[in-house]
Amino acid sequence: MDPKPPWKQLRLRHVSKQFPGGPLILQDIDLAFDRGAFVCLLGPSGSGKSTVLDLVAGFERPTAGTISYDEREIAAPGPDRVVVFQDVANALFPWLSVLEHVEFGLDRRLPARERRARALAAIELVGLADHLAKFPSELSGGMKQRVQIARGLVMEPEMLLMDEPFGALDAITRRNLQLELKQLWARTGKTILFVTHDISEALLLGTDIVVLSMGPAARIKDRLTGPEIPPPDPASPGFIAASHRLEASIEGPSMAPALAGTS
């Protein structure tokens, strides 16, 4: 890799978001992340975590503030920031096989042979090599998420944006995919922005954990980074202490002045 640029890769500057006629969802979110970080956005449901992800993805524009990525402002979705969606039933294309899904986003001007080779490599990475010709209706929930991850990775994105990707999976599949994702992250060095409401998932995966307050007008409530993140052993005292801290900041009274006085 080229030497680290002197700036943060992803930067949200005083970002607020309000949909026309709706309540203020995000208020004054200020965040910056280094290349290669595994950022977990944690918060109660309705806190606007997914809205942060939609803004970084470029699906939505902020009402105030700016979001920049390698010092360029984000204006539209693009394959440098591939999204892995939670609602896998609608995120996949029912008429395409696993292999066709992974080839879907690749530039059609590339020779077919190269597209095929790159797709196969990405499929190999997520362990679906034995299911190339299967259609989404023939895949389990976990396999569908693997397809989404491979479909994103093949684009060689700078970032992977994941919106509660394992939220709808059973506990065992979920655990396996968490472990594999962590390995994948370590191997590929991608920056990952991962939305979840599961504290232990955030602690197992993240190198940065950002807690959003309860909406409306969600703010950043807590942030764990670097040495504050315990080793990924759920039985260790450090892990338990950290999860208590996160639990308290998710459930505890909001520090946001906008909400002071309400209860």
Nearer to another protein, 18 or 135 (CB): 135
Opening angle at CA 171, ends 170 and 176, nearest 5: 100
For residue 45, give Cα distances in angstroms to 175, 178, 202.
21, 21, 15
How far is the first Cα of the chain from the last one, in angstroms, to the nearest whole number?
50
- Interface with another protein, residue 38, by CB under 8 A: no
Choose which of 62, 142, 152, 230 interacts with another protein (CB under 8 A): 152
Q: Which stretch binds another protein (CB under 8 A): 73-81, 118-126, 203-211, 213-221?
A: 73-81
The secondary structure of 23-90 as a DSSP string is -EEEEEEEEEE-TT-EEEEE--TTSSHHHHHHHHHTSS--SEEEEEETTEE--S--TTEEEE-S-HHH
- Interface with another protein, residue 156, by CB under 8 A: no
- Interface with another protein, residue 155, by CB under 8 A: yes
- Interface with another protein, residue 90, by CB under 8 A: yes
Nearer to another protein, 159 or 202 (CB): 159
Alpha-helix runs per DSSP H in the chain: 49-57, 88-91, 98-103, 112-125, 141-153, 171-188, 199-205, 237-251
- Interface with another protein, residue 167, by CB under 8 A: no
Choose which of 26, 31, 83, 259 interacts with another protein (CB under 8 A): 83
Residue 155 tokens read as: 């684009």
Q: How far is CA 65 from the centre of its chain?
A: 21
Binding mask 200-229 for another protein (x = CB under 8 A): ------------------------------
CB of 82 to another protein, least distance (A): 5
Binding site for another protein (CB under 8 A): 57, 59, 76-79, 81-83, 85, 87, 90-96, 104-105, 135, 137, 151-152, 155, 161
